[in-house]
Amino acid sequence: MASGVSGNARLGMKPHPLYVRKASGSKIIDVDGNEYINYMMGSGVMILGHSHPAVTKAVEKQLRLGTVECTVATEMEIELAEKITKHMPHLEKIRFVSTGTEAIMATIRASRAYTKKDKIARFEGHFHGSSDETAISGGIGSLQAAGPEESPHPVPDFAGIPRAALETTLVLPFNNADAAVRLIRKNSDQLAAVVMEPLAVFHSGAVMAEKEFAQSIREVTQENDILLIFDEVVTGFRIGGLRGATKYLDVIPDLTTLGKICGGGFPIGVYGGRSNIMEEVLTPTGAQSDKDRKMGQSGTFSGNPVTMTAGVATISELEKGAIYPHINKLGEIIREGLKNISSEIGIDIQILGLDSIFHTQFASHPIRNKRDALRADSAKLETFGLGMITKGIFIQPGHPAFICAMHTKKEIEETLEAARDVVCEMKET
């Protein structure tokens, strides 16, 4: 395989990727037999933990009934759709796809079809998958922040992004309401949508949108007939519990993308929102005008019954009510513990995250957006991550961490003890 892996995220481990043989509950075991307390959890997917009995049992049953048939629908699609829309009523109509990237691509296409405008605005340092139109000014790196801080210039995240994608993308500063609103108003006649992560998970370091900022973006998009898209592929059914980010921001977007947790450990993407938008751009009427008004979207694995079954089982477990208080409390304990370690040892660490997500940045200044994150010490962050791995705590260097239902208070205490040791070693050197 090229570079030995199926995705570049797996190259975050130095000197070589970690290959895992088994995952169960809150633990993973690598091919050399080393056991780790795991805080990656599939980048947040495994909120119940690996191989949860309820999910395993449901999937085993579905495997005997069938796996996929792309030209027919199944009852499991309806059951999962009902659960999602019940808890997130602003998703009046939804569709299933196979990945978060695909979900974002579909919402962008839907926005263009609905508004008849071509340009998309996105926030610097947010992650929206790896398509041409989203891999712009997202990834963190020395060359990935261009132009003035209040008016960023679009830059490709990697090779192969066509110039045309840059020309149809407006990049906005995150958590800077005045500058972002000004840019949106200036480009309003061209903008189909503004897409944002309510919590910028990966490239900015688990930074939450400030409530007043999010509300300002909602107001300016409504005033100018621009759709607002929330990308909750990572955060949906994790922050804000079953309600998602709307619980904290009091903002209702026009369209939303979900993923990860909704599939219970299997590939999934979800997109949806206002009924009038979804029906307008997706449901065929048979009229000749459909070719100018309707978008195409389908996929062999969209809504496959194994994923649907795992998603229903996962959300059913979350609905019981005990998991969110447990994981959010552990998130609180570990963030507070890391802050105490920073203070006691005398090393500048910013502790970020919300609910069951936590992240560290080695900096003395607050982290509110990507530019702040770029000024943090990335070398120390990588050293910290690798140090934790050597002590049996799997937090991929530079990556936010996620708590699952199977983590225990004892494991959190072990993690903090390891963190204290690693930070002390870093301080001494």
Per-residue confidence (pLDDT) for residue 3, from 0 to 100: 85
Please check whether residue 210 lies inside any domain of the structure: yes
Residue 349 and residue 312 share a domain: no
| ∠ Cα 14 390 372 (to 5°) | 60
Over the stretch 28-62, which tens digit does the pLDDT of each residue have? 999 999 999 999 999 999 999 999 999 999 999 99
Q: Find the mean pLDDT for residues 280-292.
A: 91
Instruction: Please report, for the domain that includes residue 373, its CATH number.
Output: 3.90.1150.10
Q: Which of 297, 319, 341 is the last residue of a domain?
A: 319
Identify the H or E element spanning 54: helix 53-65
Please check whether residue 59 lies inside any domain of the structure: no
Residue 121 and residue 252 share a domain: yes
> Strand 191-196 and strand 227-232: pairing?
parallel
Q: Find the mean pLDDT for residues 376-391.
A: 94
Residue 222 and residue 304 share a domain: yes
Please check whether residue 57 lies inside any domain of the structure: no
Please check whether residue 154 lies inside any domain of the structure: yes
Please check whether residue 60 lies inside any domain of the structure: no
Please check whether residue 58 lies inside any domain of the structure: no
Q: Which of 285, 319, 353 is the last residue of a domain?
A: 319
The domain total for the chain is 2
Residue 72 has pLDDT above 90, yes or no: no
Instruction: Say which residue the tokens 């020309």 belong to.
Output: 167
Instruction: Please report, for the domain that includes residue 74, its CATH number.
Output: 3.40.640.10
Strand order in the sheet with 255-259: 93-97, 269-273, 255-259, 227-232, 191-196, 119-123, 169-172
Q: Find the mean pLDDT for residues 383-404.
A: 94
pLDDT > 70 fraction of the chain, expressed in percent and rounded: 99
DSSP 215: H
Identify the H or E element spanning 95: strand 93-97
- The torsion of the CA quartet 236, 239, 241, 244, rounded to 10 degrees, works out to -50
Per-residue confidence (pLDDT) for residue 48, from 0 to 100: 98
Residue 40 and residue 91 share a domain: no
Over the stretch 175-229, which tens digit does the pLDDT of each residue have? 999 999 999 999 999 999 999 999 999 888 899 999 999 999 999 999 999 999 9
Give the DSSP per-residue string, 305-363.
HHHHHHHHHHHHHHHTSSHHHHHHHHHHHHHHHHHHHHHHHT---EEE--TTEEEEE--
CB-based contacts of 288, cutoff 8 Å, min separation 6: none
Over the stretch 294-351, which tens digit does the pLDDT of each residue have? 998 889 999 999 999 999 999 999 999 999 999 999 999 999 999 999 999 999 999 9
Preceding peptide of 15 cis, ω within 30°? yes
Domain that includes residue 400, residue range: 2-52+321-428
Instruction: Say which residue the tokens 């459909």 belong to.
Output: 290
Residue 284 and residue 136 share a domain: yes
Residue 209 and residue 88 share a domain: yes
Nearest to 398 by CA among 105, 110, 188, 140: 140
Residue 244 and residue 204 share a domain: yes
Instruction: Say which residue the tokens 């040791």 belong to.
Output: 421
Residue 173 and residue 90 share a domain: yes
Give Dmax (Cα) for the chain.
73
Residue 386 and residue 269 share a domain: no
Per-residue confidence (pLDDT) for residue 352, from 0 to 100: 97
Angle between helices 177-186 and 211-223 (to 10 degrees): 10
Nearest to 47 by CA among 323, 362, 355, 371: 323
Please check whether residue 335 lies inside any domain of the structure: yes
**Please, which pLDDT band fits residue 140 given cuts at 50, 70 and 90?**
low
Q: What whole-number distance in Å separates Cα of residue 98 and Cα of residue 268?
A: 4
Please check whether residue 61 lies inside any domain of the structure: no
Q: Which of 292, 319, 346 is the last residue of a domain?
A: 319
Per-residue confidence (pLDDT) for residue 17, from 0 to 100: 86
**Please, which pLDDT band fits residue 291 given cuts at 50, 70 and 90?**
confident
Residue 154 and residue 207 share a domain: yes
Q: Find the mean pLDDT for residues 363-374.
A: 94
Nearest to 34 by CA among 394, 423, 404, 396: 394
Per-residue confidence (pLDDT) for residue 142, from 0 to 100: 41
Nearest to 373 by CA among 207, 234, 189, 162: 207
397: tokens are 């260097």
Per-residue confidence (pLDDT) for residue 379, from 0 to 100: 92
Residue 308 and residue 326 share a domain: no
Strand order in the sheet with 401-402: 350-352, 357-361, 401-402
Residue 215 and residue 244 share a domain: yes
Per-residue confidence (pLDDT) for residue 5, from 0 to 100: 86
